[in-house]
Structure formats: C-alpha cells, structure tokens
Amino acid sequence: MPRTMSARGSGFAELQKRTAHLLNTLRREIRSKENDLARLKGEESRLSALAGTQMMGGRRQAGPRLGGARRLNWGTVLEQMPMQFRAGDVRKVRGLKDKRPSEVFAAITRWIEAGNVKRKERGVYERVQPRRRRKAA
C-alpha cells in the first residue's frame, strides 16, 4: 500500500526547504563579510600610503626601499664598459656582483638587439661607437 503524504509534505522536501534557507542565509553572511573585508583592505591601503609603507611579497613593509632594491639602469652600466668586455667585466661594476648570470646575459642580449654591442667571439663583446648625425643644411 503506497504511503500518503501528510499535510506538511514529505520529510525530504522539508529538509530541502530548510537546507535552501540555510544556504541563502550563509551566502548573505559571506557576502557581508567580503564587503567588510574589501572596506578594511581599502582603509588599510589608504593608511599605509599615508604612513609611507609599500607592498613587499604580499605583505606590507614599513620604511623606504633598501639601496640594493632600486631598479638598475643597464644603459649606465654599458657606458662603464671598456670597448671590449666579457660578462665577467659586467659583474665588476659596482652593485652587480650579486646579479644572477641570467640577468647579466639578458642585459647583454638587449644591448646586442639594440645595436649597442656586437659579439666578437664566444664570450667577448665590443661596444659599438654611436654614429654622429650630420647637421641638416
């Protein structure tokens, strides 16, 4: 004999209804917490800008950048090179001792592609003299 449904409906339907209600409540609470978090992050960002701190690896670090953390101008490094040089000579420039070989060779490659350096032989490079422009008559 089949079961008859009560006036309230089946137990499973009631469970689904409660679960849906709890899920909606949870979603509203999550949205509220995310909005609070976004507001707090914005406030933290404004305060850290006021305090002069900056983002370092996902966390804020107070104070100015350290001397070694500045961006390197490779053009000035090239100006300090003799007419013929090796990668080891590039490392002798102040502040480049701890640079990875990949960074040094990337710079040399950029110089070659820009036409500022020519490769003489394996491991030996030569600076190219800049051409002087003629004055238009």
Q: Indicate the SS3 state at residue 124.
A: strand
Fold that domain 71-127 belongs to in CATH? Arc Repressor Mutant, subunit A (1.10.10)
Longest pairwise C-alpha distance within the chain: 111
Predicted TM-score (pTM) of this structure: 0.45
Question: With b meaning 16 or more CB within 10 Å and e meaning fewer, what string describes 106-137?
Answer: ebbeebeeeebbeeeeeeebebeeeeeeeeee
* DSSP string across 44-81: HHHHHHHHT-EEETTEEE-SPPPGGGSPP-HHHHHHTS
Per-residue pLDDT of the chain (137 residues; tens, 9 = 90+): 556 555 556 889 999 999 999 999 999 999 999 999 999 988 888 888 887 765 544 555 554 545 555 778 888 888 888 899 998 888 888 888 888 889 999 999 999 999 999 999 988 999 987 766 566 65
- Phi then psi dihedrals of residue 85, to 5 deg: -150, 165
